[in-house]
Amino acid sequence: MIRTGYKVCSGTNRFRSAFSFGRVVEYKINVWTYQPKDCGPLAVFRTQCGVDDFKTHNRSLDTNSQVFLCEYEESNEEKLYTEDHHRFNMLPQGTELATKVKLIKKIKNL
């Protein structure tokens, strides 16, 4: 089922997840991005409140961070992990995990 949410990305022409933790995932507007092979799902926020909480508690955000309206397909997985299977148990409030994400339009700069 396709849902609507928010994705925080860094960059100006090439958009990368603002919460990358060792894996680089690039996103494009109106193109589906799928979870990397041998890695866990992608992370988005269900609501704008989740984005605001992420910004408040993440002081290391890139100065080019932006918020995008996105569509995503919810994942059945419950954790983020990298190809070396390093797991991330503490996710920002309001995080939703996804198998694929499509940026729709830029909402604002962070």
Nearby residues of 32 by Cβ (< 8 Å), 6 or more positions away: 100, 101, 102
Which pLDDT belongs to residue 88? 64
φ, ψ (nearest 5 deg) of residue 57: -100, 0
| Residue 17 confidence class, pLDDT cut points 50, 70, 90 | confident
Task: Please report, for the chain, the start and end positions of each structural domain, with discontinuous segments joined by +.
Answer: 2-109
Average pLDDT over residues 1-22: 85
pLDDT tens, residue by residue, 58-96: 777 778 889 999 999 999 988 877 665 556 667 888 999
Which pLDDT belongs to residue 40? 83
The Cβ of residue 42 has, within 10 Å, a number of other Cβ atoms equal to: 24
3-state secondary structure of 47: coil
CA distance 9 to 37: 20
